[in-house]
């Protein structure tokens, strides 16, 4: 339906790391948090102002999946929910949220999708985000830096699923759910997300 250009080359929003750090600390203490920071090559938490290099963020997500294969999905989902909550608290004006909540889902869903596309560089980095359709709601992310180079039997983009879930359930319809139906890590050409009502 519409594409958005990739963001600044190799840069991504810091919440890909910042919202994961307290989740890691709660799950495994400061030791796990610091281990993942070291694995990513970061000396500490990135600044919450501006963008960060996407490479350490991707490295941290990959290191977590290798280190804790059974629990990483849940931890990444929690971090994605926290990222969505941060966006709601700091990035979407209260009046805009009020308008979206008041509109029928058939109108608010496409409006939110367009807003996400306009700011997709914050979670897509040097990848390319595309809204394929709004009925049903389908997104595609090409060359996702958070799973780049990985291979897995099942989709890996749980963090992205959770970000989309939090935004759409809060602003459009609490019955909506995001499912990644194709993933580059599983051999697809793109990571594809479908948001449907259950």
Instruction: Express each pLDDT in 56-76 by its tens digit.
Output: 999 999 999 999 999 999 999
Q: Is the pLDDT of residue 7 over 70?
A: no
In 3D space, the residue among 100, 93, 189 whose CA is nearest the CA of residue 141 turns out to be 189
Query: What is the residue whose two structure tokens read 């804790």?
Result: 68
The gap from C-alpha 186 to its chain's centroid, in whole angstroms, comes to 18
The whole-number pLDDT of residue 9 equals: 61
Domains of the chain, CATH where assigned: 2-197 (3.90.1520.10)
- The 10s digit of each residue's pLDDT in 116-155 is 999 998 999 999 999 999 999 999 999 999 999 999 999 9
Neighbouring residues of 146: CB distance < 8 A, sequence distance ≥ 6: 16, 54, 57, 58, 61, 125, 157, 159, 160
- For Cα atoms 101, 175, 141, give the angle at the middle one, nearest 5 degrees: 85
Q: Which helix (H) or strand (E) holds 72?
A: helix 72-90
The whole-number pLDDT of residue 162 equals: 98
Neighbouring residues of 69: CB distance < 8 A, sequence distance ≥ 6: none
């Amino acid at each position: 339906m519409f594409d958005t250009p990739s963001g600044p080359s190799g840069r991504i929003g810091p919440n890909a790391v910042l919202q994961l750090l307290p989740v890691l600390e709660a799950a495994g203490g400061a030791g796990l948090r610091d281990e993942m920071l070291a694995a990513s090559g970061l000396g500490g938490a990135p600044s919450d102002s501006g963008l960060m290099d996407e490479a350490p963020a991707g490295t941290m997500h990959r290191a977590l999946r290798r280190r804790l294969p059974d629990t990483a999905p849940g931890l990444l989902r929690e971090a994605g929910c926290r990222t969505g909550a941060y966006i709601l608290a700091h990035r979407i004006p209260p009046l805009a949220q009020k308008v979206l909540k008041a509109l029928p889902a058939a109108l608010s869903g496409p409006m939110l999708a367009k807003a996400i596309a306009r700011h997709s560089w914050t979670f897509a980095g040097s990848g390319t985000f595309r809204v394929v359709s709004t009925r049903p709601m389908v997104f595609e992310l090409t060359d996702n830096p958070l799973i780049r180079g990985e291979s897995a039997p099942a989709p890996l983009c749980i963090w992205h699923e959770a970000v989309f879930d939090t935004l759409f359930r809060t602003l459009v319809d609490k019955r909506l759910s995001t499912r990644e139906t194709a993933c580059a890590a599983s051999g697809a050409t793109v990571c594809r997300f479908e948001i449907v009502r259950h």
